[in-house]
Chains A and B, each alone.
Chain A
């Protein structure tokens, strides 16, 4: 699994989400659910037992008018690399049901291998992993609209955002047929990226200087991928999870909300 493809350079697919652009419309959530056959219940109001691979959190600066401000944070799986692929969830899974792909940087979940111990959920600080507490049931006729490219999950296993990995596979198949080994930036895009009406989500290869994600976030490989863009930050940077989702905001309180700081710790906007 650590072997890299002989003919291609290792990719590190990741995201940059511009929080100043995000309106909290939830289109990314809806697109994700439709694309990935995410099961839902009649009542989805309890967010502690409903599955949302992409979840939009809302937060405020806690101040009163006129300084009151709010922000929406879309949260997919961070596809943490941590140190050399030892993501918090990957290293703990007892049955190798989740794996870090060194070719793409994507953390996979093998549903037929998972036996539902939920240790990965305990390990993930982002709550990006969801358990199928119920059997997936779709309204009559809706089965016909399920994506044939994504296997539905059964009760008792954990699932999470895959960065629409099936789209990567389809794009690679097409490229191979055309005699190529590399993908263009627009050939592999996640459904949430394409659905965002504000264009707040950008997706691409963080290792590729030609891709927008690299140009915007400017990940510093010498410091575990920390963004060099002063307006960019990652969630819970200090835990050492080395996530591949970067956030952008011109507002300091938003950047500060991305991580924990002790009260008198120097005012740090990003890291």
Chain B
């Protein structure tokens, strides 16, 4: 039915099957949209956030998807600036995942603010000293860059490409993509960092606060670093899931191996930096404020020391070792476990730097407030996932996302 739109030389499932799954995922999407409208029209009383948890699951989701979407900027940087040419075979998918992650992040932010119609104040009345301002500016600009990187893919659709103007536009955009990629890397460095800075500058919250260089706390650099490490892990992981669902190989092994190796070294160096940061914070910063490390990990039902072990050892040290060793990378099970753990590590880190920061009591006569999101918060957090799946389904079906697909199919 829609075969004229499907890229030449590749197989896709039947149109009926495609529509069936679009409807299934679309139902979840509508559930999220309903919750989103409730939050917009009835206000944030629809959530379980409170005055102790001003930041909650949405901000975590925001930070997490931005970190996971970091695969786009870092792969782009490697491909266009450092000349890792093999990565051209996965860059499209990295861009698509990044586009989904960043559009989701902007949507979540739009739901999260108490007065959505005043959202533009952050641009117009910008306080240049606030990390959140830097986040908003760089995030929006980088989303524009991702859109620019995604447009040529749309223009390469079989039917769209027949229009000479679109064909030429796509060709020209490819021609100067390195400039856009460099701008994207510049913007990403700052907004990923600023997201780390959001927590790191909170000198009233000893759990979050970090010293640093000039105006940037150490978390600024750690967040950028971890996004560059975990973003590609997530790209590899989603590629693997896509291959499992479509039951075919979409990217050649050498491409995955190269990206995994680079991600592994990024993750290993990040983990070392994170260990040093944690040690310095626990040994110097925290005691200077009258706390000990274990004050942050005891006397509450959720935040035990296990979360620190999970973040640094299980999701940092273990995947690093797997990814930097050739044997580790070549075992499919170990590789996928490692990239999953790497991506999970970024999510745990963002959780800790948002939710645990809110939970830790600072005044001596306070206790740990606990929080569980309302169904509206859960639905609106799942909404971007459903939206992402739909966009991937449509893009995979109609756009040449994987340049090696046809070749692999012919060989196979």
Binding site for B on A (CB under 8 A): 46, 48-49, 57, 59, 73, 82, 86, 88, 91-97, 113-119, 121-127, 129-135, 154-158, 235-236, 238-241, 257-263, 265
B190 to chain A, nearest CB (A): 15
Instruction: Tell whether, in the assembled complex, residue A96 and residue B127 are in contact, meaning their CB atoms are under 8 Å apart.
Output: yes
Instruction: Tell whether, in the assembled complex, residue B54 and residue A131 are in contact, meaning their CB atoms are under 8 Å apart.
Output: yes
Instruction: Tell whether, in the assembled complex, residue A94 and residue B51 are in contact, meaning their CB atoms are under 8 Å apart.
Output: no
Instruction: Tell whether, in the assembled complex, residue B292 and residue A262 are in contact, meaning their CB atoms are under 8 Å apart.
Output: yes
Verify if B45 is at the interface (C-beta below 8 Å from A).
Answer: yes
B123 to chain A, nearest CB (A): 9
Q: Who on chain A is nearest to B134 by CB?
A: A94
User: Counting chain B CB atoms within 10 Å of each CB, which of A119, A129, A135, A155 scores highest?
Assistant: A119
Chain A residues with CB under 8 Å of B222's CB are none
Contact of A239 with B365 at beta-carbon distance under 8 Å, contacts A127-B52, A132-B114, A259-B290 already known: no
Instruction: Tell whether, in the assembled complex, residue A94 and residue B364 are in contact, meaning their CB atoms are under 8 Å apart.
Output: no
Verify if B301 is at the interface (C-beta below 8 Å from A).
Answer: no
Instruction: Tell whether, in the assembled complex, residue A133 and residue B44 are in contact, meaning their CB atoms are under 8 Å apart.
Output: yes
Chain B residues with CB under 8 Å of A133's CB are 43-45, 49-50
Among residues 97 to 152 in chain B, which have CB atoms less than 8 Å away from a CB atom of chain A?
112-116, 118-119, 121-122, 125-127, 129-133, 136
Chain A residues with CB under 8 Å of B335's CB are none
Chain A to chain B contacts (Cβ below 8 Å), 28 pairs = A48-B369, A49-B50, A93-B127, A93-B130, A94-B133, A95-B118, A95-B126, A95-B127, A115-B122, A116-B44, A117-B114, A118-B55, A122-B357, A123-B204, A125-B205, A126-B204, A126-B363, A156-B113, A156-B114, A238-B289, A238-B290, A239-B206, A259-B290, A260-B289, A260-B290, A260-B295, A262-B290, A262-B292
B361 to chain A, nearest CB (A): 10
Q: How large is the interface on B (under 10, 10 to 19, 20 to 34, 35 or more residues)?
A: 35 or more
Instruction: Tell whether, in the assembled complex, residue A131 and residue B44 are in contact, meaning their CB atoms are under 8 Å apart.
Output: yes
Chain B residues with CB under 8 Å of A258's CB are 364
Instruction: Tell whether, in the assembled complex, residue B112 and residue A117 are in contact, meaning their CB atoms are under 8 Å apart.
Output: yes
Binding site for A on B (CB under 8 A): 43-45, 49-55, 112-116, 118-119, 121-122, 125-127, 129-133, 136, 198, 201-206, 287-292, 295, 357-358, 362-366, 369
Contact of A259 with B287 at beta-carbon distance under 8 Å, contacts A48-B51, A239-B203 already known: no
- State in angstroms the CA–CA spacing of A96 and B116 once bound together: 17
Instruction: Tell whether, in the assembled complex, residue A88 and residue B130 are in contact, meaning their CB atoms are under 8 Å apart.
Output: no
A132 to chain B, nearest CB (A): 7
B412 to chain A, nearest CB (A): 51
Instruction: Tell whether, in the assembled complex, residue B43 and residue A134 are in contact, meaning their CB atoms are under 8 Å apart.
Output: yes
